[in-house]
Structure 1
Amino acid sequence: GSEEHCAPNKEPVKYGELVVLGYNGALPNGDRGRRKSRFALYKRPKANGVKPSTVHVISTPQASKAISCKGQHSISYTLSRNQTVVVEYTHDKDTDMFQVGRSTESPIDFVVTDTISGSQNTDEAQITQSTISRFACRIVCDRNEPYTARIFAAGFDSSKNIFLGEKAAKWKNPDGHMDGLTTNGVLVMHPRGGFTEESQPGVWREISVCGDVYTLRETRSAQQRGKLVESETNVLQDGSLIDLCGATLLWRTADGLFHTPTQKHIEALRQEINAARPQCPVGLN
């Protein structure tokens, strides 16, 4: 909009933050580029979101290659050796997309590696076989208020492609659109009763490639999907947890972060306690 041009020094809009649980704010080797323990999502100078447009049903691998090379985002669902459904995605001026995964390729905004519990030194932390997907998930934020953030399984690779091979769980919905799950899945749990001291844990769900909500599979990477949960959506709430199978992320909304205690608050409380000159009942000092 034009209002953005008049105020170049205005704070950029912050959609929220993703925090990797288990590091208390800093990775063991320090933050490096896109690999860090927390990632803030800001409104982009120019929208980079995409939305589904044309669907192609293709019977030869050559044809599906041709479509996926058009420089447009696309999701390919391989149904069999001789049938692939390619869904092309087109630019969406109303959303910003952020991608999370283990890959360090440029489409990934936030590079996440496995969380090793309890290992202090980095020699132990050499992961031989990571279960986090290279292109694990994407978070799509509305560029207009209330800046709703939604999560989808899988991310687009450097060729702007999401490719669900023959073995991946995939299906055609009653309304005709294709959908699928990634190998180890993207699970989400929303806290019940908001993100407060009173919050209760919610139920873990699995999010599909198109953002629908399913009950968990029998095992993490089973071929058979869970049941569609029609009453729930892929909208992230303050305090939602995202399990990428090897690392868990916490989503904080900008509003939620605005109300969290700061270092200043904590310092003030500490000074208040000290000002009361508390005495240790054992050492009497």
Structure 2
Amino acid sequence: MHVAGLFIYPVKSLRGLAVSAASLDRFGLIGDRRFLVIDAQNRFLTQRVLPAMATIETALTATALILRAPHGGSCAVPLQDNNAPLVRTTIWRDTVDAEDCGTEVAVWLSHVLRQPCRLVRLGTAYHRSVKPSRAQPGDVVTFADAFPLLAVSEASLAHLNDRLIARGESPVPMNRFRPSLVLAGCDAHAEDRAAHWRIGDVALRAGGPCDRCPITTTDQLTGERHHHEPLRTLATYRRDPAEPTNVNFGQNLVHETKSGTLHVGDAVTFGA
């Protein structure tokens, strides 16, 4: 069993990047979800309500985040700004202090997404803990939904696609599930069955299954939403026994080793 794919998503809900290696800090993969789009009320925005966010490409240089839209040109944003004003930002039930990224990118994003919005980023004042029921001291998270990492196996996706095809539906690509780690060399849903993981020198623990949302029905290249699949098929065999309204696919992870580097090709081992 090994890491077959590594992905970071510099801006929550915008397009991600495939990488061959990714280093870790206390928040998770460096460069992952360090930026967030917010609305006029300073609440987070995602593809759940704005599927067009999937069409905005992201890139990282040593000093800047680059955003590109299909028909909207590009915009560059510094990765750091010691003089940026703070914005009290709400993400789910958490309120955090984030750094405002300025008027230029706010105007650009508002034009591309056709609604007033701004971009904020993590800064020195930012703090947000992992979901309390799963946290240990020192466990913090970026603008991700709840956990630093998410793993999905190739076998799990293949099993889902077999079921979709049997129902006369089209198979879906891995990007519908926006994983951090893609595993190969294991059985379907093996990622659900281990409490502790090791990848190279990095120790991780399971945070619990990932409850899937309508983002999985959104084409990650075009932003088009398919209203039923793959959620409808997942609901036939992946309902959470404790929370039957939840449909699970993939495993959330917390990195107990707060530094290190993960590589495509790294061996993955499970522990009890």
Interval containing the TM-score (normalised by the shorter chain): under 0.3
Relative contact order, higher structure (CA 8 A, sep 6+)? 2
TM-score scaled to structure 1, two decimals?
0.23
TM-score normalised over the length of structure 2: 0.24
Question: Which protein is bigger by CA-based radius of gyration?
Answer: 1
